[in-house]
Amino acid sequence: MPSISNARRLAINIRDEFKCSYCYKDLRRATPDQITLDHLVPQSIGGGHSTTNLATCCFPCNRKKSVTNWKVFAKEHYPAAVRRISYRIRRKLNMPLAEQLIAGYGNTEKARKAVVRKGAGR
């Protein structure tokens, strides 16, 4: 399965407002190793890279969820997350914005910081 492009990753973070989809932690100031994408349906049980199967997630929640079904995990640990994730994954990604930001700033990390500073994509 092909990897997730940097532009797509950034577009998902923008769609999810740079907040963990489970605990709702603000990840705008997170370092790259603290912000992850969660496969709602884990790849190990057939989940793919579709935008409806990917959600912004903090590292601790992603590790804690592991291969658990996202709805089971959310209901047990963060009940409000079920509704939030169900809404977010239906929103369209702004790929042109993510691609322009990466092209304009030279790399994903600089683009992410620019989005956070300016509140782009909202």
- Residues 6 or more apart in contact with residue 101 via CB below 8 angstroms: 10, 111, 114, 115, 120
Band of pLDDT at residue 1, cut at 50, 70 and 90: low
Sequence-ordered strand ranges (E) for the chain? 35-39, 54-58
Per-residue pLDDT tens over the stretch 76-101: 999 999 999 999 999 999 999 999 98
What ranges make up the beta strands (E) of 1-120?
35-39, 54-58
Rounded Cα gap, residues 76 and 115, in angstroms? 32
- What is the token pair recorded at 26? 């603000």
67 φψ region: left (φ > 0), alpha (ψ -120 to 50), beta (else): alpha
Identify the pLDDT of residue 101: 87
Indicate the average pLDDT of the chain.
91
- Domain spans in the chain, listed from the N-terminal domain onward: 6-118
CATH pick for 6-118 out of 1.10.760, 1.10.30, 1.10.12, 2.60.120: 1.10.30
How far apart CA 49 and CA 15 sit, in angstroms, is 15
The whole-model pTM stands at 0.87
Mean pLDDT, residues 42-52 taken together:
93
Burial 89-106 (b: 16+ CB within 10 A, else e): beeebbeebbbebbeeee
